[in-house]
Structure 1
Amino acid sequence: MTTIVLPFLAYLIGSLSFAIITSKLFGLPDPRSFGSKNPGATNVLRTGKKLAAALTLFGDAAKGWVAVVLAQHFSSIYGYGDYAIASVALAVFIGHIYPVFFSFYGGKGVATALGILLALNPWMGFGVFGTWLLATYMWRTSSLSALIAAGLAPLFALTLFGFSVYTGTVLILSLLLFWRHQSNIKNLLAGKESGIGKCADRPGDMPPE
């Protein structure tokens, strides 16, 4: 029974969209209504509120980390095993991209995936985060950096875990991230993807309704 309850609770944790929650707290427009319409830290940053964007990034990463750490804690007590922890990792991610609290309209999952990776293995998490930082420094494009980091994440997992359920979980997360970034991939190939710091499509630039 608990092996069903844990993923369900993880899904509910993942369904807490911090982009929407933080925007409401700061009195900002709903991030689903402007820019990329993606409820994530990059779109919140388009409002010019760096603190709100930072809190969004932290919150979305923290919920992935918390869900997996809790699963690891209960697994060590009750002996649920690696598959239970892996199911929680996937459930919290799916909760983020399809949040029950926000009409199943969620973000693309980059920050939440990072939190999950940090919980599964800090070295893997920091390695992927370092890859993202380096790619961001070089190309200044959030989506491209996320795709590069997601593409390399399974290799980090394979190095640390070998052919295991955790490597399989990281591979599934990477594939889901690529799938969620379909529109970004098309824009990148067409040379139309906005870079970090670009002010296009800010809510203030939109005509009044």
Structure 2
Amino acid sequence: MTASLTVPLLWLMSYLVGALPFGYLVGRWKGVDLFKIGSGNIGATNVGRVLGRKFGILVFVLDFLKGAIPVAVVVPLANLVSSDVLPTFGSADVLRVGAAAFAFLGHLFPVYLRFRGGKGVATGAGAVAVLAPVPFAAALATWLLTALVSRMVSLASLAAVAVLSAVQLLIGGSAVVTGFCVLGSLLVAVRHRSNVGRLIRGTESQIGDGLMRQNLLRVLHVVAAGLWVGGAGFFNFVAAPSIFDTFKGVVQTAPSDRTANMAIVPSAPGATPEQIAKLHDDLGRALAGAAVGPIFPKYFAMQLVCAVVVLATAWTWRNTDPTTNKHRLRFLLALMASLSVAAGWWISDVVSRLRLARFDPSSEIAKAAIEQFATWHLVSLGLSFVTISLAFAILVLAAWLPQKFEDEKASGPA
């Protein structure tokens, strides 16, 4: 079979798999027509509301798999049938994205139900999990956090697809994969237009506020605060000073086993001991900076993730106990700490630019950069100390997390 026939047939199969209406079938199995009850949608959310959580989870998993499996098997199947598939279609990503798109469209417009389908979140998630694992992980984390904090599945889905597109655009990669993520996110948003209207009016349905939700919020808050304090404290007070001291010692003792017995300090004929000492010191700091520099983006990204989790969870408790201000104080501290992380990241970039400018061929630019570098570097260190102090205060307040809650039932359409 030729490639021009093999691939369209595989994409058609992807559509037929994606169109399998698991939600509708489970509903019929339980004697319910989901088109006529709840929100009238055959997705996992409405199934869970109408038939119970376990059936909602079952439908979500099945819808997820019907997006993931076609994407995962399309290339091996194509190569099995025809050896000239990839040369004809250019790359494996084209085949995978085609399978993902047809499976996704099958869920949205299933031929078995006269093209009345779901909103595509679970099926799209399955396809993206195979196509773009890192953006998928970010989107999944966003969905979980938003659902727990807002208790609105629709808002969580919209936030997740926004993060999915943003992360995929940020990290780059295959243009066809990026295009699928962006266009798929737009389609999900369009399918949620009725939910957006209810969100604006404040009438969107919410999941119940039970013991499981409260426990998950507490776990997320404590883990994020602990990771924030531990990670920032270890980097600032242990790792970074040790790296700078180590490189200083390595430069002073070179050649040694740490430098593969090679000299790394340039010769300086006629230099005074003070000049040689300064040369060693400058080189040691430069090498340590080269080692620490690449860590900063990851370090601030870790802090920002922790800050978002801590801030979001603290927001849910800010008005829990009107007789005390400790829950509101927790939220305010989290807000200030989050802002300090954002400011610290920006200042870190300023310090990095000034560090390079110190060696500019223009003596005037180099001199100005040297003068500003020390000031901004000191500001950066001070802001790091402020951030750690605020995060530590939040961690201490975790000993007084809210214990009471109301078991609220979900109501309204989804």
Retained in 2: the 8 A contact 1:22–1:55? no
Aligned with 2:41 (options 34, 38, 41): 38
Hey, what's the Cα distance between the residues in 1 that align with 2:139 and 2:107?
19
Retained in 1: the 8 A contact 2:108–2:115? yes
Number of the residue aligned with 2:55: 52
Aligned with 2:167 (options 147, 156, 159): 156
Hey, what's the Cα distance between the residues in 2 that align with 1:6 and 1:156?
29
Number of the residue aligned with 2:147: 136
Cα deviations across residues 84-126 of structure 1 (Å, max 9, x unaligned)?
2211111100000100111111000100111011111332222
Number of the residue aligned with 2:119: 108
Retained in 2: the 8 A contact 1:34–1:201? no
Number of the residue aligned with 2:128: 117
Does residue 13 of the first structure (1) align with residue 32 of the second (2)? no
What's the offset of the Cα at 1:5?
1.0
One-letter code aligned to 1:112: T
Hey, what's the Cα distance between the residues in 2 that align with 1:22 and 1:70?
26
Give secondary structure in 1 for the equivalent of 2:50.
Answer: coil
Hey, what's the Cα distance between the residues in 2 that align with 1:156 and 1:73?
28
Does residue 71 of the first structure (1) align with residue 36 of the second (2)? no
The correspondence of residues 166-177 of structure 1 with structure 2, limited to 5 A, is: 166-177=177-188
Retained in 1: the 8 A contact 2:206–2:410? no
Give secondary structure in 2 for the equivalent of 1:12.
Answer: helix
Hey, what's the Cα distance between the residues in 1 that align with 2:155 and 2:100?
24
Larger relative contact order (CA 8 Å, sep ≥ 6):
1
Retained in 1: the 8 A contact 2:146–2:156? yes
Q: Does 160-169 or 36-45 show the bigger shift?
A: 160-169
Number of the residue aligned with 2:401: none
Q: What's the % identity of the aligned pairs?
A: 34
Cα deviations across residues 15-65 of structure 1 (Å, max 9, x unaligned)?
10111122233x141211111111111101122422211110000001000
Hey, what's the Cα distance between the residues in 1 that align with 2:56 and 2:184?
23
What's the offset of the Cα at 1:199?
4.0
One-letter code aligned to 1:43: N
One-letter code aligned to 1:141: M
Hey, what's the Cα distance between the residues in 1 that align with 2:75 and 2:14?
12
Hey, what's the Cα distance between the residues in 1 that align with 2:78 and 2:167?
24
Q: Does 81-90 or 130-139 show the bigger shift?
A: 81-90
Retained in 2: the 8 A contact 1:15–1:99? yes
Q: Which runs of 5+ in 1 are unaligned?
A: 203-209
One-letter code aligned to 2:13: L
Change in 2 beyond 3 A, CA 1:201/1:186? closer
How many residue pairs get matched? Answer: 201
Q: Does 159-168 or 102-111 show the bigger shift?
A: 159-168
Per the normalisation by structure 2, the TM-score is 0.46
Hey, what's the Cα distance between the residues in 1 that align with 2:43 and 2:162?
20
Cα deviations across residues 136-158 of structure 1 (Å, max 9, x unaligned)?
11101000000010111112222
What's the offset of the Cα at 1:75?
5.2
Number of the residue aligned with 1:88: 99
Retained in 1: the 8 A contact 2:204–2:412? no
CA RMSD of aligned residues (A): 1.8
Hey, what's the Cα distance between the residues in 1 that align with 2:79 and 2:143?
32
Per the normalisation by structure 1, the TM-score is 0.89
Q: Does 83-92 or 43-52 show the bigger shift?
A: 43-52
Give secondary structure in 2 for the equivalent of 1:196.
Answer: coil
Hey, what's the Cα distance between the residues in 1 that align with 2:123 and 2:115?
16
